[in-house]
Amino acid sequence: MKLSDNKATLSFSNGAPSIDLPVYSGTMGPDVIDIRKLYAQTGMFTYDPGFMATAACQSGITYIDGDKGELLYRGYPIEELAVNCDFLDICYLILNGERPDEQQKLDFDHQVTHHTMVNEQMHFFLRGFRRDAHPMAVLTGLVGGLSAFYHDSTDITNPRHRHISAIRLIAKMPTLVAMAYKYSVGQPFIYPRNDLSYTGNFLRMMFATPCDEYKVNPVVERALDRIFILHADHEQNASTSTVRLCGSSGTNPFAAIAAGVACLWGPAHGGANEACLNMLEEIQAQGGVAKVGEFMEKVKDKNSGVRLMGFGHRVYKNYDPRAKLMQQTCKEVLESLGLENDPLFKLAMELERIALEDPYFVDRKLYPNVDFYSGIVQRAIGIPTSLFTAIFALARTVGWIAQWNEMLSDPEYKIGRPRQLFNGFPTRSMK
Ligand code: CMC
């Protein structure tokens, strides 16, 4: 970051002396006012619940311009990456800052592919869960559990250990998600295969059985790979900030990523894809497109507690670029699977059409986000609704681990320790 010539001056109406605060510029986006010495200088904190105007770190990984509806990984627009790369290209780019050359790509793919198996003992750990446990509960446990198996790579001060942990997490996440699924349906676990792509291997671990040969459908493989790409990173969102805060105490990477999985689960974040599909199914069951108007009235009624899931975003005040790509993927997948008349897709399009014209949504700048169409694609390719957020976690793992690694490499890194405005009892005595 660069110190700007501009300074911020903070003055007080009670006659206390004003202070100058340094301003820093990044390469793009808003400047920041450096308030690190504010408490020492004034005895005051800043107050910003929900981080509405607080940059908690510097980062060079992902950039979002919410007004334009722009998303860049390491400077490259998501629209270009989505059509020119596969998910492992994106992982390499996010982790290393540059796209891989041919040899680097071969080496990286080989490394990830050869870390996909999990310790066999993990099976016993998994078997402790009820069959009907939510996959996100299982995944939070399994990812945290990895720290008990891979002691040889948890020295966070060693960049080599951090790299091995990153590869392990990216490689093992599909295996864990597929294991959680197989366990829930009572089918045998399918071991990874090294001759398949990252996404092809995941599909096989999900849908193959020992009784039949499984052939990966390239349309489905490409669609799921696109989902992974679109979810790979999204700067300082709730789960990424959770990973950073958790990791800032010096805990091991598996524990920090498990915290990210837990945060992602919530319906305001990654859990919105599951909530969105459940919402579409509910409207469909009540009469479908004909009931859209009635449903929208409920959404606009503040007392109903109903939100249009898959709509709205803290940062995007324009169409989420991921939602545009997802809508296009959705169309392509449904057409190539012969599901072009899918009623839920029609319903989603109608909800979007109405919302984009309705002053409630227009005035609040509420647009479809990535979760609005992703559930329809996942459902079309056979992924059960309860597993949607686990798929998101699988894809976001690279972003989490890259952000964690960036934090640990930052010379200004400190344990995260927010402050508070205390509004409880002032000092009192039991006497
Ligand atoms: N349906 C109806 N009203 C909404 C919605 C929605 N989906 N989203 C926001 N609003 C209204 C909200 O009621 C408020 O109105 P008012 O100003 O009259 O009080 C205004 O828009 C601003 O909303 P907010 O809750 O203050 O905004 P936020 O930035 O704190 O929340 C959000 C962002 C994503 C949590 C929210 O838009 C939401 O709950 N959306 C539905 C859940 C969802 O789709 N989440 C996925 C986000 S993208 C993927 C990810 O991050 O994982």
Element of type H or E holding 33: strand 32-33
Q: Is residue 311 within 6 Å of ligand 1 at its C-beta?
A: yes
Checking if the pLDDT of 129 tops 90, the result is: yes
- Main-chain phi, psi angles of 214, to 5 degrees: -115, 130
Q: Is residue 272 within 6 Å of ligand 1 at its C-beta?
A: yes
Three-class DSSP category at 417:
coil
pLDDT of the residue at 256: 98
Q: Are strands 2-10 and 32-33 parallel, antiparallel or unpaired?
A: unpaired
Sorted by where each starts, the structural domains of the chain and their CATH numbers stand as 2-55 (2.20.28.60), 80-415 (1.10.580.10)
Separation of alpha carbons 141 and 134, rounded Å: 11
Q: What is the pLDDT of residues 376-420, one digit of tens each?
A: 999 999 999 999 999 999 999 999 999 999 999 999 999 999 999
Q: What is the pLDDT of residues 55-82, one digit of tens each?
A: 999 999 999 999 999 999 999 999 999 9
Q: Is residue 371 within 6 Å of ligand 1 at its C-beta?
A: yes
115 among known catalytic residues: no
Residue 265: strand pairing partners: none
Three-class DSSP category at 326:
helix
Ligand 1 mutation target, pool 280, 326, 351, 369, most atoms within 8 A of CB: 369
Confidence of residue 153 (pLDDT cuts 50, 70, 90): confident
Confidence of residue 162 (pLDDT cuts 50, 70, 90): very high
Which residue out of 231, 313, 320, 342 is catalytically annotated?
Answer: 313
Q: Is residue 296 within 6 Å of ligand 1 at its C-beta?
A: no
Confidence of residue 154 (pLDDT cuts 50, 70, 90): confident
Q: What angle do CA 88, 90, 91 make, to 5 degrees?
A: 60
Ligand 1 centroid, distance to 136 Cα (angstroms): 22
Q: Is residue 389 within 6 Å of ligand 1 at its C-beta?
A: no
Burial label for 137, CB within 10 Å (0-12, 13-18, 19+), is middle
Three-class DSSP category at 79:
helix
Q: What is the pLDDT of residues 266-314, one digit of tens each?
A: 999 999 999 999 999 999 999 999 999 999 999 999 999 999 999 999 9
Ligand 1 centroid, distance to 312 Cα (angstroms): 5
Separation of alpha carbons 352 and 255, rounded Å: 38
Separation of alpha carbons 64 and 140, rounded Å: 28
